[in-house]
Structure 1
Amino acid sequence: MCEKKILLIEDDKDIAELVALHLSNLGYEVECVNNFTEGMKRSLENHYLLILLDLMLPDGDGLDICHKLRREKIQTPIVMLTAKTEEIDKVLGLESGADDYISKPFSIREFIARIKAIIRRSAISIIENEEDIFQFDELVINIFKRKVTIHDNPIELTKKEFELLYFLAKNKGVTYSREKLLNIIWGYEYSGYDHTVNSHINRLRAKIEQTPNKPKFILTSWGVGYKFNDEL
C-alpha cells in the first residue's frame, strides 16, 4: 500500500530529518535514503504516494532517477530538491518529468504547501471516468488508460506531454498563454520558463501531427499562446 508513504532521497542529514519530521507530523510514512543507488532501487521496486529527490547525490545525479522512472512508465509524482538555482537547472528538472522543483533553502511552510498541492493534483488526476475518451479524427485520447493513438497506432507520451495534450483537448478552442500552461500543468507561477512549455508542445507535435510545422491539432495563437483546434 502506498496511500501515505513518501520516499525521500536526500544526502543532507539535517534536511532529511527536518523534512521527515514535518511530513510524519502530517501523518505520512517517510522512507529516507541518502544515496543514488538505494534511491533508484527503492523507487523502482516499491510504490509511493510521492518521491522527494535531491538533484545532487554523492554517487549519482538525481535527474537520472527521474528519467529512469518516467522511461519505466512510473507516474509517481516527483519533487526535486536542490541548492542549484540557475534557470537551466529548473528547466531541466521540469523537462525530466518532475512535477515540481523546490530550491534550497526553503521555508517549511512553503515546502509543506507545495507538497500538499502536488499530492492534491495527483489525487485529482487519478479520479478519471472510464468513459472519458476524446476523438478528433484520427487522434484518440483515452483519459482513464492514459493512452493516445493515431490511426489506431499507440503514441508514447511522457506524463507531462499527456497532461498537456489532455488539458488543451478538454478545453479546445481556448487559448492559453505559456505562463498559464506552466502554472496549470507544472504548478509553477514563475515567469521566464517559456522554453519548458515550448519544448513540450514541439515534442507533442512531432508525435501526433502528420506535418509538425503545419499542425492540425495544437495550434499557435501568435503572441498569445496555444490552443487545441476547435474545428475538429
Structure 2
Amino acid sequence: MSRILIVDDEPSMRMGIADNLTFEGFDIMEAENGEKALEALHQQKFDLVVLDVMMPKLSGFDVCKRMRQENINTPVIFLTAKGEEIDRVLGLELGADDYMTKPFSVRELAARIKAILRRTSDSSHSNSQKFIAIGDLEVDFDNYVAKRNNNEEKLSHREFEVLHYLYQKKQKIVSRDDLLKNIWKYDEFPTTRTIDNFILRLRQKVEKNPNDPHIILTVHGMGYKLI
C-alpha cells in the first residue's frame, strides 16, 4: 500500500483529499503546515507528497526546496490556488513532479498520483542494477540510482526522466517542447526556461566542465543532443 503525505493548512481540504485517497486504497498521513511536513518526512518514509503551496510560516515551495536540499527525493505534487505560469515554472524547477491548480478534481489528482507511483514502483521492484555511463555519471534508470566516481549522486525523479529521454534519443536533436510534452505531459506547458534549468543541473553532474559541455550539447535554435 502506497503511503501519501497530504500537507495543507485548510482542515476541510486535507480531510476531503484524505477521504478520497483512502477510498482509492492509499495509506494517508496529514500535516497541517510546512514545519509538520518536514518533521514527518524526517521520521517516516512516504511514496509521494501532496503539498499545498500557500501556507503560513513555510510555504510549499520552501518545503520542496528543503526536501531537495536534504536529498529527500520523494515525488511531490503541488496544490495551489495560483494558476500563473511563473508559479508552475517555479514549482517544477524546485523539483516537483506535477502541479494542480485549485479547484481541482480529486479523481484527476488520484490518477496523477497513480501515474507517478507506477513510474517509481516499477523501478523499485527490480533488484538488478544495470548502470549506463553518461559522461562522468553512471546511471541505473530502472532503479533510479546514479553514481559519480563510485559515490552516489543525487538526482531528482524529474532529472532522471529528462536524462533518460535524452539517452533514448541519443545522437538526435530533442527540442525543448518535445521534452515538455513527453516528460511533463501538460495541457498547458511551462516555459522552455524550465528545460534549460534542468539541462544546466544535469550538465553539472555529467560533464567534466559544465561550462564547456561535450555530452549534452546545445543545438542553437533547435534544442539539445546527447552524445
What is the TM-score when the length of structure 1 is the normalising length? 0.84
Unaligned regions of 5+ residues in structure 2, if any? none
- Output the amino acid matched with 2:155: T
CA distance in 1, matches of 2:60, 2:144: 28
Provide, for residues 135-189 of structure 1, a one-character-per-residue CA deviation record: whole Å limited to 9, x for no partner: 256553344462232xx37584431333322332243123322122123333434
The residue that corresponds to 2:99 in the other structure is: 101
Distance apart, 1:71 and its partner CA: 2.0
Distance apart, 1:203 and its partner CA: 2.5
CA distance in 1, matches of 2:51, 2:134: 38
CA distance in 2, matches of 1:140, 1:26: 37
Provide, for residues 65-92 of structure 1, a one-character-per-residue CA deviation record: whole Å limited to 9, x for no partner: 1122222222211111111122111111
Displacement over 4 Å in runs of 4+: 136-139, 153-157
Distance apart, 1:59 and its partner CA: 2.4
Distance change in 2, residues 1:148/1:106 (3 Å): same
Higher mean alpha-carbon deviation, 194-203 vs 166-175, is at 166-175
DSSP 3-state at the match of 1:191:
coil
Distance change in 2, residues 1:95/1:11 (3 Å): same
CA distance in 2, matches of 1:39, 1:139: 32
CA distance in 2, matches of 1:104, 1:37: 22
The residue that corresponds to 2:32 in the other structure is: 34
State yes or no: 1:147 paired with 2:125: no
CA distance in 1, matches of 2:48, 2:137: 31
The residue that corresponds to 1:166 in the other structure is: 164
Residue among 210, 214, 217 paired with 1:216: 214
CA distance in 2, matches of 1:192, 1:46: 32
Mapped contact 2:136–2:208 kept (Cα < 8 A): no
Aligned length: 225
Distance change in 2, residues 1:127/1:198 (3 Å): farther
Higher mean alpha-carbon deviation, 140-149 vs 29-38, is at 140-149
Between the aligned residues of both structures, percent identity stands at 39
Unaligned regions of 5+ residues in structure 1, if any? none
The residue that corresponds to 2:19 in the other structure is: 21
Distance change in 2, residues 1:187/1:86 (3 Å): same
The residue that corresponds to 2:60 in the other structure is: 62
CA distance in 2, matches of 1:27, 1:205: 39
Mapped contact 1:221–1:227 kept (Cα < 8 A): yes
Distance apart, 1:98 and its partner CA: 0.9
Distance change in 2, residues 1:142/1:121 (3 Å): closer
What is the TM-score when the length of structure 2 is the normalising length? 0.86
Mapped contact 1:5–1:48 kept (Cα < 8 A): yes
Mapped contact 1:79–1:99 kept (Cα < 8 A): yes
- Output the amino acid matched with 2:25: G
